[in-house]
Structure 1
Amino acid sequence: MSNPQQPARGDAGNGSSREHVTGAAPEDRPAPGTGSGDSQELAEQVGRALAELGPPDWARLEADVAVTVADAAGVVAFSGGERRVQLEIPTPIVELARSQRESVVRGGGEP
């Protein structure tokens, strides 16, 4: 089972990186500061920023962020009960995700 705060990473094979983040509702998330390193803190910041976008009754968050050298974009979906809300991730949060990706690479990890 994957950690809901950790993005799942994949390489699209064309120089781009795509991350999929699935998160738990706010009351189910671990306390801030339980991770280590800049990339972990940035990932947590992205998760918190995304969580703030959701409707009050959300129970599940799914986000996809695609980052290339030239561009970045993302979509987030919130669901709860039978309701699902999907929206484009605002640029400041996408840029935060880009910073997290760069931090992982600087640390020797794969994007």
Structure 2
Amino acid sequence: MFTKRCKTFPNRQEYASGLAIALQSELGSTHQAVKTLMRWTNANERTAKNWLKGTCGPRGEHLARLIQHSDAALASFLDMAERNSAVMRTTLPSLRSDLMRAVNAIDCCLSAVNEP
């Protein structure tokens, strides 16, 4: 007998809205975002619009192609699957490099201000 380790996976609406929030945060909600989704996944325009609105979520091949290109979609999907340690492994390295770039930019600005 298997033990139940976690709650059930989100229903279709929670899945669709969770990915929509992630995609909107990364791409926005403009027509350019729709075109980007179409290019990434080879989906048609109506399908990509539905993903951004949260009307329905990507399935199968489209989901695989989407998370291949979108860190936000991958993080959202892993979070819904309660694989938070996997989220940390995928997001922390990029967060660290972003922080290092920010620190370097601050150091450059400070050294430029302090020079006579």
Q: Fold match, TM over 0.5?
A: no
More helix by share: 2
Name the larger-Rg structure.
Answer: 2
Higher strand content, 1 or 2: 1
